[in-house]
Structures are given as structure tokens and as C-alpha cells.
Amino acid sequence: MVLNVYKCVLLGGNLQQCPRRFFSASCRRLQSSASSLFTEEQRRQRESVGRIEKIEIRYLGTPTDTTLIMNRGLSTPYDCARHIGEKYCRYSALALLDSNTPWDMRRPLEESCTLQLLNFTASEPHIANKAFWRTCSFLLGAALQKAFKPEAGLFLHSFPKPSIKSGSFVHDIALAREGWTPTVHELRALSIEMIKLSQQDQPIERLDVSSELAQEMFADNPYKREQVPSISAQNNGQVTVYRVGEHVDISKGPMISSTGLLGKCTVAAVHQVPRNSADKLSLYRVQGVALPVGLNLNHFAYGILEDRAKKLNPAKLPNEPYEESVAEQVA
């Protein structure tokens, strides 16, 4: 196949040596272009804030409730956590505003509100867990982009909304090759790419952009371009995108604050999606399972989760009518 596996690739059933830099310069430029557009728009939005207005953030939680005076449109829950203590920056996955609105840790705050910081050891972690599952799909897309050689003809399609009960997180992709059945080594290589992201502890950033800018960001991906009009129509002309490193993708969010919150992770299976007459490339559903950092299972128990994650995830398939299922296909 055209996937990097410990400095070699599987081509026609034979292992052949390949260069360590297996991702083409042109593909890297496309990713870099989307990231550059993200940076420019992020800067523009910050500069457009104008006169700085103060807002009152009432933090509720340990070590003690406190009131913080922050900057409207600039300060984030992560900035608030820095005032409370270093460990709250490190281990807070998500914020909860006014006890009912999940909010990205690095998303600017817009109004005075109460603020709670959520982690994975809380008595009711379901909100943070859904954000974690969604983020795993997003990071799987980043790992796939990094791992495939250009001749694979890889396009990221989308990932469905998180369902922890399904037993796996998902990213659907399109490939130029039909009938790909990944080897154990290839699945392991993808898992290693996910672990590398975790070890790099990179921030995960959110940005709302116009439909026109989203089209420019994903100019190289026909599937993303097709999705943009429906998404923006349901979101007041805006498209929410996330970035980690130079990887940019579409998602409603929220997501966890950093890749460093990803713990044990396995890319467990790849299922080919049955083609229909409109499919120009072969579609695949890539599935995995992961644990947040600090949550450990013994080898036997984690093996049960891995086996479960191999079963085809029942979420809506990528080639089912998009207009009718945008909410289910873009998490």
C-alpha cells in the first residue's frame, strides 16, 4: 500500500524501501496553505475586537470559587485557568459556561458568565467524553494525512458525531485504490502517528470562518467543498474549523484543549464502504479507540475495547445523501 510503515511501504504485496520524507512537497503546501489562511483570519478577528471591554467571569470549582475580570472577545477559559493554577491548564479538557454550554478551552469568551472547568475524572464526565471522542476523529484525520504517500490519492471526507456507545471513533476517507485491506503493521503505524500527536502536546484551536474562506481553505478537497454550503446555511453563513499543527478540518466542536490529553490509542480497523454510482473513488471507514491521559486499563480489558472497535461503526456512511444528514456527517 502507500502507507508509511517503519520506513517502508507495502506495494503490490512486496515490502520496498522508501525515503523517510514520504509526503510530497505539493501536499505539504496545501496543508500549509489552509493553516496560513487560518492564521491570517485568526489575526484579523483579534484585531477587529477594537476597544477592549472587560467581562466578569465567575469561576466555580476547586480550589475555591473566584471572580476574574477578563477581556471580551480575547480571553479564553484557558487564560482563566492560568489564573487559577497550572494543573487546571494541563488537565482541563473543556469549559462549561453558565452550567449548560460546553465551550472550547481556547475559544474567546463573549459575555460575562459562570465558568466550570471539566476533566475526565469528574463524577459526570459525559460532556468531556463526547468532546474527547470527537477530537480523536479529528486527530485521526491528521494522522492519516501524515501517513499516506501522495500516490494514494487520499482525501479526508468527514467524521460522524461522536457516539461512545458505538465503541469506536471514526474518520471516513476516499482513496484512489479499491480493495485496500491494511496489514497489522499499517494499522500500528497509524496508531503510532496518533501517539506522536499526543506526545507533542499541541494546542487545538477553533475558528469560525465565512463560507468563502472555507472554500478557499479546502480548495484541494472536493468532499469538503461540497459540504461547506450546507454547513454554512445552517450556521448563519459561518463554518467552524479546527487546527492542530498545520492540519485544518471542519467540525462543529467543541473539542478538547490539547493533543496531550490523548492517552492510550489504537487504530483498530478499516472497512471499505460499498460504492454507489456517484462515487469516483473508493471510500473507507477508519476506526479507532482511545483513553484520555491518566485513565488506565489493564491489557485484557483494553483488548476487549480494541476488539469492539474493529466492528463496523453503525454511523451514517459518507456516501449517503449529504443534504439530508449534514448534522450526522460532520461532528
pLDDT, one tens digit per residue, over 264-277 is 999 999 999 988 86
User: pLDDT band at 327, cuts 50/70/90?
Assistant: very low
Which residue intervals of the chain bear CATH 3.30.980.10?
A: 126-310
Closest CA to 79 of 103, 102, 99: 103
Instruction: Work out the percent of the chain whose per-residue pLDDT is above 90.
Output: 76
Which residue intervals of the chain bear CATH 3.10.20.30?
A: 54-119
CATH architecture, domain defined by 54-119: Roll (3.10)
pLDDT, mean over the chain: 88
How do 247-250 and 238-244 pair as beta strands? Answer: antiparallel
Instruction: Work out the percent of the chain whose per-residue pLDDT is above 70.
Output: 87
Return the pLDDT at 24. 36
Per-residue pLDDT of 149-201, as tens digits, reads 888 899 999 999 988 899 999 999 999 888 899 999 999 999 999 999 999 99
Contact 159, 331 (CB under 8 A): yes
Per-residue pLDDT of 41-53, as tens digits, reads 999 999 999 899 9
Return the pLDDT at 116. 97
The phi-psi region of residue 227 (left if phi > 0; otherwise alpha if psi is between -120 and 50; otherwise beta) is alpha
Q: Give this prediction's pTM.
A: 0.88
Return the pLDDT at 18. 35
Contact 155, 173 (CB under 8 A): yes
Return the pLDDT at 32. 74
Q: Give the C-alpha separation, 186 to 9, whole Å.
A: 9
Q: How many CB atoms lie within 10 A of CB 253?
A: 21
Q: How many CB atoms lie within 10 A of CB 315?
A: 21
Return the pLDDT at 31. 65
Q: CATH assignment of 126-310?
A: 3.30.980.10
